[in-house]
């Protein structure tokens, strides 16, 4: 058995949380620089504003999910 001080576990937890935040922010940044992704998002938003969307329940039925 190895004993680890609580303070070390807390630091490890903080480091993991910081890394996860960094990873999320990096992903957001990279997507914001991807012209193809931005075009797809703009197109999806336009379809949504025009009412050209389906509900999640409808999509699940169409795909035979659940």
pLDDT at res. 28: 97
In this predicted structure, the answer to whether residue 9 has a pLDDT above a threshold of 80 is yes
Query: Whole-structure pTM over 0.75, yes or no?
Result: no
Q: pLDDT tens digits for 13-59?
A: 999 999 999 999 999 999 999 999 999 999 999 999 999 999 999 99
DSSP 2-33: ----HHHHHHHHHHHHHHHHHHHHHHHHHHHT
pLDDT at res. 51: 93
pLDDT at res. 39: 98
In this predicted structure, the answer to whether residue 66 has a pLDDT above a threshold of 90 is no
């Amino acid at each position: 058995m190895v004993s680890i001080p609580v303070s070390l576990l807390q630091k490890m937890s903080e480091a993991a949380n910081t890394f996860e935040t960094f990873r999320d922010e990096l992903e957001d940044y990279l997507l914001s620089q991807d012209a193809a992704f931005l075009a797809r998002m703009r197109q999806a938003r336009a379809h949504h504003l025009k009412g050209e969307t389906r509900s999640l329940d409808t999509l699940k039925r169409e795909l035979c999910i659940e």
